[in-house]
Amino acid sequence: MKIFLTHNFLLMKCNYRNCLKELLAGVNGNKRYCDEECSYLERLEREKEKNKVKRNILSEINRIQALLRACQKIYGDSLFDVNILRELRMNWAIISGTTQIEGHEYRVVGSFAYSVFQTGKIRIIKL
């Protein structure tokens, strides 16, 4: 909240990012917006920001799934060089869980699981 002191009056600015109205503190010390419309519009702006973050996360998950799908289609269940995925900017931090298959721990992303072996090879399995 933006607060300004002028002529012994405490003035506050409306917290809506596109509103420039000043509020007198004497009205209510907890008042953050000049009216209900500004309150509603600021809530919409916050929801837009949250949705944008969610969209970015979901698009990255979809990109990783598409990458795994393409490699699984080319190489099947066989081992291939992990540098192929590194060159395609694989985001190794995104996983939705882990599972044990054939005694190896596989990281799950959507409907695919992958395991990177110490030999520098990777195997992708469609679940």
Q: So what's the pLDDT on residue 70?
A: 94
pLDDT confidence of 123, banded at 50, 70, 90? very high
54 with 109, same domain: the answer is: yes
For residue 55, CA distances in Å to 29, 52, 63, 89 come to 37, 5, 12, 19
Quick count: other Cβ atoms within 10 Å of Cβ 25?
13
40 with 94, same domain: the answer is: yes
Q: So what's the pLDDT on residue 111?
A: 92
108 with 91, same domain: the answer is: yes
Q: So what's the pLDDT on residue 64?
A: 94
63 with 109, same domain: the answer is: yes
Contacts of 95 by beta carbon, 8 Å cutoff, 6+ apart: 107, 108, 109
pLDDT, mean over the chain: 86
Q: So what's the pLDDT on residue 46?
A: 92
pLDDT digits (tens, 9 = 90+) for 51-97: 999 999 999 999 999 999 999 999 998 999 999 999 999 999 999 99
pLDDT digits (tens, 9 = 90+) for 18-44: 887 887 766 666 778 888 898 899 999
The residues facing 116 across adjacent strands are: 122
Per the structure, how many domains does the chain have? 2
For residue 78, CA distances in Å to 34, 88, 115, 120, 125 come to 64, 19, 11, 13, 9
Q: Identify the domain containing residue 93 by its residue range.
A: 35-126
pLDDT confidence of 50, banded at 50, 70, 90? very high
5 with 64, same domain: the answer is: no
